[in-house]
Structure 1
């Protein structure tokens, strides 16, 4: 009997789907006593350390879980499911973990690397294990700001290390107990193979007949290629994937119908098969409707998570709402429904701009009122993406504006040599007195874990990413950045990685129309010596 310890936080739907895809039946843990009945127990830790431990205590799961672990019965912990095995975490001071493994969970040091550690990395095996039988250096998907530190005290637990700055524990194992820092259910075929070995093995944790090689070379984080799907209802009421030119999604001639480039789930599955490292859905009509009433979009996530085993992000309408009957829903309530429907991250756009304006008006004081703070506190920083839609505003001199400017190689209409990047809301239709540096830094301070950096000026042009915009934001923050808008050929992806050092690059139209295949992008990046996931 395979049992899933679902304590009510985060996206566990994808793990359920992965297990069912592999042909195994799953039993849910519904009461504390169910834990001790399990034959194989999976603990999918999703969220912040303190929130997870608080929920486990509230449900009465801690004592039977400790008893199960002490009996050396088959167990697989994932992400925070690994971290809770330790004594405590810097993420939640004063809150004890399960205390099985000696040591504290530490935050990644500020060493010039972006935090969270987000994306595809490999592992260095310390010893043979059935969990990694036939492992050949494939990459797995990591997303975390805190990590387990290898030490002499936990040496007998160490199974694999991964490098990000200093090495950290990416897998632990002793007896039948296994735990990994990455997400197998989000790691494509390599992750599904690892899950199958845990679910099918007679002696999980014991040395395998097929001894995997060890790898002594430092592991490297891959650059990510993200496929974005703008989803909206067309004039006939169907949910379609569309794409705009400067955010205009209607055809330029005839009846001006909404541009229809395919069905959301089918396109997402195609991009997964073609090697996309992440899929991002943007519900571009959510600002007009109450998102929890938008059942088709929730259904898109549920169905996509049955076929796509890489990270899924959803954006559009992540904010507080009051419905027609007067019931109030917080941004956290809305995000929770998206996570439970299959999303791994939520993307916040216009709401982030308004929240930052209020935050700056308070003198940069955090009060817990913003969607960013609320969601990050429960699900972790890595679950919150800020989608920024800036446009160029040209000025003659840096002194003529109080905003952060760049000296541009693309002069303005009157020959201006400087510009600043104005943040917008409502799909680019309304500009605010806020520049992109102010917004990005404030969002990082409020708890965001990643920035999706668009460009109204480059959207749909195929002229390449706005390197000046991206470089300015890259220098301003220490969280990962996804470069977006303007990709037209494979060279543009290599250019943005080489020139700015961002962690990911996103495209939409060129992938939808098959003008530039994802594998063509990856082949070119590999030829240029840029680390990618095969």
Structure 2
């Protein structure tokens, strides 16, 4: 299966999806596109092929525009409106732009003053250069350098992931009507406002220190945040670009309720959907107790709690900050042939304009024909289908064990390969640990925590053993050590489950979440154990975790996402309402 074009990265070949290849456009769509172009309702998309831009496409089409893809340099100069949704690493993006001879046409287009919108990396590339990828020269359109967030100085998790607010510097057509609403960021590097670029900066966001959130001059705009992932607010910003109006001062947002207004990076509430094929081959959202997902009576079919796309859309409407799909179907061949799940992602990204994560099977495979596929191939397929992040499970345990043993980064692991091409923010590692009690920490080599929940024999200490194969097999590896190892290899986020708490509805394991979030400098998502809205507020107040996730209580409508956020806001936690 062809999923991309080989691009040299260092001493090895990296595979990236290449949407700049010529496409077969159905005659009917070609005719509609011609009509849209004649009416000024066509957008040219510079998709250089490194990441998920499907959501950008869907957002543009939702606003009534057709899309023309850049297939050759002249397509840039002939564009009436150009959107550049940069995804991945700075160095990788510049290499591809140079290889495809797109740098000069892109600079000429921007200099012409025709409407241009850059997104995320599409903003960073406008600057003179970046520290990323060992130091790279940018397009040089805006003075200044792009630098990594300083973890030591900030004392905050990096990447900066989630919903944050902006401080607008004055009236702007792009941000008209946005006010103080939060937008979605996901990045490890940022441009800093300085006197040389002050005439470009439209808005800044604070994360320890202010960084550039949006720039603009004339018809040239770019955002560090992702409007296509920022819900209704992001769609409004895209519409402002496509249908510019007279600049207006940002209005104050009407109060959604009597809840207090909070500022800064919001704590995220994530809805997780365990997706599995039932005995008839249909994909359903399921949930079980201790990984048993079959009904306890009757025909013992897989428990069906709804259809994946419909539930994901409902959670988006309910205010979920992210939606995560975990594919728990056993693959008969390999994920690249997992067409139903790919279809779920494609359909969900048409209706869900917040980040989508997919997990399950993100590892190397060999199909029945003997053809080998890397974890990067698998991730590329999911990214091109609508995923923003991929979650790696059991494979990460194997990788971490080898790294801890050798202390060597080979560049060949799934984590390293995917983060090199798509950026560390695209890689999540899912950890499935269970509590192990010890009488004396010196008895084990693992990081131990003094517990407020003594063991069966009065033990005062515990560690959390990592498991694989859905919790059925334990490894001689602690959750803290695993998290530190995968961070060193390039992981951008930890999804921290807890086998002991799964399905108990007694709250998250604060000791586990605290131990791991204190041990790493990347965001940690707390999972397993939520039963009431208070449990989310409690874990955010007790630990440094950045997000909390639940599944069954949302599926069965025992708890509503809006109720969770209301409780958080009432307790003055930064919350996207």
The TM-score, its normalising length taken from structure 2, stands at: 0.90
**1:213 CA drift (Å):** 5.1
Question: 1 CA distance for matches of 2:547 and 2:483?
Answer: 16
Question: 2 CA distance for matches of 1:92 and 1:484?
Answer: 33
Counterpart among 157, 175, 197 of residue 218 in structure 2:
175
**1:179 CA drift (Å):** 0.3
Count of aligned pairs between the two proteins:
527
- SS of match in other structure, 2:133: coil
Structure 2 unaligned segments of length 5 or more: list them. 1-41, 254-260
Partner of 2:96: 55
Counterpart among 187, 197, 218 of residue 154 in structure 1:
197
Question: 1 CA distance for matches of 2:126 and 2:86?
Answer: 11
Deviations 1:397-442 (A, max 9, x none): 1111111111111122222221110000111110000001110000
Listed as ranges, the matches of 1:11-50 within 5 Å are: 11-50=52-91
Partner of 1:205: none
Comparing 131-140 with 218-227, greater Cα deviation is found at 218-227
Partner of 1:244: 288
- Contact kept in structure 2, 1:396 and 1:418, CA below 8 Å: yes
**1:394 CA drift (Å):** 1.1
Pair 1:398 & 2:436 matched: no
- SS of match in other structure, 1:385: strand
Listed as ranges, the matches of 1:367-516 within 5 Å are: 367-516=410-559
Question: 2 CA distance for matches of 1:465 and 1:234?
Answer: 29
Question: 2 CA distance for matches of 1:150 and 1:210?
Answer: 23
Partner of 2:248: 210
**1:323 CA drift (Å):** 0.8
Structure 1 runs (4+) deviating above 6 angstroms are: none
CA RMSD of aligned residues (A): 1.4
Partner of 2:131: 90
Counterpart among 219, 232, 235 of residue 276 in structure 2:
232
**1:211 CA drift (Å):** 2.0
Question: 1 CA distance for matches of 2:299 and 2:384?
Answer: 38
CA gap 1:498/1:94 in 2 versus in 1, 3 angstroms:
closer
- SS of match in other structure, 1:497: helix
Partner of 1:326: 370
- Contact kept in structure 2, 1:287 and 1:316, CA below 8 Å: no
CA gap 1:218/1:454 in 2 versus in 1, 3 angstroms:
closer
**1:501 CA drift (Å):** 2.3
- SS of match in other structure, 1:26: strand
- Contact kept in structure 2, 1:423 and 1:431, CA below 8 Å: yes
- Contact kept in structure 1, 2:47 and 2:70, CA below 8 Å: yes
- Contact kept in structure 2, 1:127 and 1:214, CA below 8 Å: no
Question: 2 CA distance for matches of 1:282 and 1:218?
Answer: 31
Pair 1:277 & 2:325 matched: no
- SS of match in other structure, 2:498: coil
- Contact kept in structure 2, 1:17 and 1:305, CA below 8 Å: yes
**1:388 CA drift (Å):** 0.3
Deviations 1:19-38 (A, max 9, x none): 11111111111111000011
Question: 2 CA distance for matches of 1:288 and 1:355?
Answer: 23
Pair 1:116 & 2:159 matched: yes
Question: 2 CA distance for matches of 1:249 and 1:308?
Answer: 26
**1:210 CA drift (Å):** 2.6
Counterpart among 305, 308, 315 of residue 264 in structure 1:
308
Partner of 1:527: 570
The TM-score, its normalising length taken from structure 1, stands at: 0.97
Pair 1:360 & 2:398 matched: no
Listed as ranges, the matches of 1:192-203 within 5 Å are: 192-201=235-244
Question: 2 CA distance for matches of 1:193 and 1:218?
Answer: 22
Partner of 2:264: 220
**1:288 CA drift (Å):** 5.6
- Contact kept in structure 1, 2:167 and 2:205, CA below 8 Å: yes
Question: 1 CA distance for matches of 2:404 and 2:567?
Answer: 43
**1:70 CA drift (Å):** 1.1
